[in-house]
Amino acid sequence: MIRKLLTIGLPLLAPFIVYFIWWWTMRRRALAEAEGRDVGPWENLPWIWLISTGVSLAAISLVVTALLTGGDPFADYQTPRFEDGKIVPGRVGQ
C-alpha cells in the first residue's frame, strides 16, 4: 500500500501541494502589503529561479552519476542460476 502511495499518489498530489503553498504565501503577502506591514526579506527572494536551479542541478548530477559510474553499459547481464547444488548470483560481465 505504501508503494502505491509513493509511486502514484505522491506524484499526483505534489503539483497541487506546491500550488497550494504558493497560493497561500502570495495571499499572505498581499494581505500584509494591503495592511501596510513590511514584507519579510525571505518573501522577496526569486523563488522560481531558486527552485528551477535546484531541480536543474539535481537532474544534471543524476545524469553525470549515471554516465560516469558503474561498469560497461553495454555488458550483458547474467541471471542467477543453479549450478552444482548452489545458487550462483547474477552479475554483469562476459
At residue 29, the pLDDT reads 83
At residue 60, the pLDDT reads 92
Q: Are residues 22 and 52 in the same domain?
A: no
Q: Are 28 and 37 in contact (CB under 8 A)?
A: no
Domain extent for 77: 46-94
Q: Are residues 55 and 38 in the same domain?
A: no
The CA distances from residue 56 to 25, 49, 53, in Å, are 24, 10, 5
pTM: 0.43
Residue segments in the chain with a per-residue pLDDT below the cut of 50: none
The C-alpha cell 555488458 sits at 75
At residue 43, the pLDDT reads 67
Q: Are residues 6 and 18 in the same domain?
A: yes
Q: Are residues 9 and 41 in the same domain?
A: yes
Q: Are residues 53 and 93 in the same domain?
A: yes
Our separate counts of H helices and E strands in the chain read 3, 4
